[in-house]
Structure 1
Amino acid sequence: MRILFVASLTHVEQLKQAVANTPPGQTAPLFPSSMKEHFYERALRRRGHELAVFWRERSSRNPRFRAGFTPAKAAQALVQRLPPQLNPQVHQRNRQLLQMVEEFRPDVLWLVAGNRVILPETLASIRQRHNCQLLYVGGESPLVFDYTLDNQAASLWDLALVNDYYHCFQLRELGTRQAISLPTTAMDPDFHFPRPLDDRRRTALACDVAFVGTLLPDHIYGERVRALAALRDFNPGIWSVHDLPPVLRPFLRGEALGEAMLDIVSAAKLTINPHGQTMQYGGNMRLFEAAGVGTLQITDDRPGIYKWFTPGENILTFRDEADLRDKVAYFLAHDDEREEMARRAREHVLAHHRYDQRVEQVETLLAAL
């Protein structure tokens, strides 16, 4: 199949570096390794598919979320209040997408969630003129994040794939004909493995409990903040490309994306992965990545965890802050049990949750349309 991704690029520096580091004679990546599409790209190429990407938006630098008022937020809010149909730049990007579709002739348009640029009428035209399947792939709540153009186009999609099972119901309410939770996240054995760190690197990153991710805004990630705040006397190591709430700033160790994130998780004894309020079923990227790295993970007690893992055997879950503290204290004091559970977690995701397997599922679903 010929697959054209339509996505927004935020981690620009990471992609530039990855392209620059590509050995001669090898195909440069379309996506940075901080995006799950990078691993779909790798798996799809192994299956023989032809790929291209259309960047509907490109940031000039990596975005950084800050709490409170900032001039950038004010400017963004003003731009977003303008209907996209009245924005000349939006129309220009839509014309450019139509031109790329004419040239590439995709069988599938892979629409990455978070669209603020591509108009529903553009997608309808592509679908009708080129007999092209529209595949939406998302990891965020379509109602909480309220990407208006995505929501307006929901009835056009031939298939929607999401992480969180509950998001399927939201998409159905928006008019999507078929929404399925795979989940869309997984692990890549060639990337998500225990990192061979030298002594200097391991010492620099060492901590008992590590967290890598986003902690703002509070209405989306407040549960994460409260979980980490409950572990303050364990001196957790926190890495984030965004600002932190005041209660956690003393524990900030720096920024991390891609391979740097995997180094941090590898160096830790435990990694904590609270999903946040908008994923009540579960299934974020870190869930399978951390297991692949071979570090024991503790996550919030979500229904999906019981579908994809066996709590107490290859993952830890916590019900509340007291339960979290008790389990962290116990497994930090019992190295053999912690390492054995982490080993089982890695074996489990290698057997059941690889991106190659997700791609096979996607192929089957598209063929059945």
Structure 2
Amino acid sequence: MKILLSIPEHTKTIPMGRFVEKALQQLGHEVYVFNYERDNQVERLREKISYKSFLAYKNNQVLALVNTVKPDLFFTIYGNNHDAGTIEKIKQKGILTACWWLNDPFDLAYKHIPAHLYDYFFSNSRGTQAVYKHYQVKNAYYLPVGIDPSVHQPQPGVKKEYDIVFAGDWHPIREKVITELSQHFSITMAGPWKRKIAKDSPLRSSFVNQRFFTPAAMAELFNKAHIVFNLHTWYGRWPYGVNPRLFEASGCGAFQISDNKEEIKDLYLPGKEIILYDRVEEIPELFTYYLKHPAEGEAIAAQALKRTLQSHTYVHRMQEMLDIIS
């Protein structure tokens, strides 16, 4: 199949676009990529003058590439940059269209993009499928992310330097919970929190990196952790939807403790491949136990790694998507 893949420029901590490109190529497909990065100073100036005209300019480039490539499938990640007119023009050429939205459940796609126009629409939350159907989104499917085994992998010989590691973007609930936990546990952190937390925040000394980190840097950090702590930003608001860390930590062979989401039980076996908590009050006991019993955590991590490689790579995800489309 000939596929035109459109990737966004803004997903700095989750650059799955290139992972998707690689996975599709590994499956034997011919892939052309349109990247919304600003390619030169002229484009940056055009964006500053008028963002609306800049997007129109970029969408004209997309349409020109469509005419040149003549793909069987136009596939966009997020699709924030594509207006309704662009999608309609692509569809008029008899080309199938698909979108993979990855901000559910906290930021639903129909608020930002013409999700109802795509022939196939995928999101990272099973719990939001009914919402999309209500808004006339056709062929809405649940499709979580995964890992690239060449990046998210165990690193033999790397020493376990840190008790507990957290990597991810800032959110008020994350700051509150981790601040409380850091009073009793050593938590090492990475993520763009510098402008979000107070100058005298006790968390500042916990960071090894307060900027956006690369997938490789994150993988190295996870390999150095006895425990990788996962807390979805929508904890306490929605019981469904899974984030990329769920898979990435497990792909690195790391032992993970995460808040529970409805989809997880079908992805990993609770208690055998991952440890879950329903309430933050449960976390201190879990941290204490597994820091004292590292062998148990390592056994769980080994099972999670096996499951991830068997079922949760980007190759698996792209095959699932294409099976649905075909």
Do they superpose with TM above 0.5?
yes
One-letter amino acid of the counterpart of residue 333, structure 1: K
Q: What's the CA shift for 1:225? A: 2.4
Paired residue for 2:256?
297
Pair 1:162-2:123 in alignment: yes
Pair 1:364-2:319 in alignment: no
Paired residue for 1:121?
85
One-letter amino acid of the counterpart of residue 275, structure 1: H
- C-alpha deviations, 1:231-267, integer Å up to 9, x for none? 2021200101343423432312114221010000000
One-letter amino acid of the counterpart of residue 100, structure 2: V
Paired residue for 2:9?
9
Paired residue for 1:64?
none
Paired residue for 2:197?
245
Q: What's the CA shift for 1:365? A: 0.8
One-letter amino acid of the counterpart of residue 257, structure 1: T
Equivalent residues of 1:9, 1:59 under 8 A apart: no
One-letter amino acid of the counterpart of residue 245, structure 1: I
Q: What's the CA shift for 1:112? A: 1.2
SS of equivalent residue, structure 1 residue 52 = strand
Q: What's the CA shift for 1:341? A: 1.0
Paired residue for 1:268?
225
Pair 1:192-2:152 in alignment: yes
Select the residue among 166, 172, 179 that pairs with 1:229: 179
The CA distance in 1 between the partners of 2:314 and 2:18, in whole Å, is 10
Paired residue for 2:286?
327
Equivalent residues of 1:273, 1:300 under 8 A apart: yes
Q: What's the CA shift for 1:191? A: 2.4
The CA distance in 1 between the partners of 2:134 and 2:36, in whole Å, is 26
Pair 1:175-2:136 in alignment: yes
CA 119–144 in structure 1, closer or farther in 2 if over 3 Å, else same: same
Equivalent residues of 1:186, 1:353 under 8 A apart: yes
- C-alpha deviations, 1:330-349, integer Å up to 9, x for none? 00000111111111111121
Equivalent residues of 2:5, 2:33 under 8 A apart: yes
Q: What's the CA shift for 1:171? A: 2.3
Equivalent residues of 1:5, 1:53 under 8 A apart: yes
Paired residue for 2:43?
none
Q: What's the CA shift for 1:114? A: 5.2
* Higher alpha-carbon deviation: 138-147 or 267-276: 138-147
- 5 Å-filtered alignment, 1:213-224, equals 213-215=168-170, 221-224=171-174
- 5 Å-filtered alignment, 1:203-222, equals 206-215=161-170, 221-222=171-172
One-letter amino acid of the counterpart of residue 318, structure 2: V
The CA distance in 2 between the partners of 1:136 and 1:308, in whole Å, is 22
Q: How does the TM-score come out when normalised to structure 1?
A: 0.77
Paired residue for 1:23?
none
SS of equivalent residue, structure 2 residue 214 = coil
- 5 Å-filtered alignment, 1:283-294, equals 283-294=242-253
SS of equivalent residue, structure 1 residue 5 = strand
Q: What's the CA shift for 1:230? A: 3.0
Q: What's the CA shift for 1:108? A: 1.0
Unaligned runs of 5+ in 1: 13-32, 61-75, 216-220
One-letter amino acid of the counterpart of residue 44, structure 1: L
Runs (4 or more) in structure 1 with deviation over 4 Å come to 145-149
SS of equivalent residue, structure 1 residue 303 = coil
One-letter amino acid of the counterpart of residue 4, structure 1: L
- C-alpha deviations, 1:6-33, integer Å up to 9, x for none? 2222378xxxxxxxxxxxxxxxxxxxx9
| RMSD (Å) for aligned C-alpha atoms | 2.6
The CA distance in 2 between the partners of 1:109 and 1:57, in whole Å, is 18
Q: What's the CA shift for 1:211? A: 0.8
Paired residue for 1:69?
none
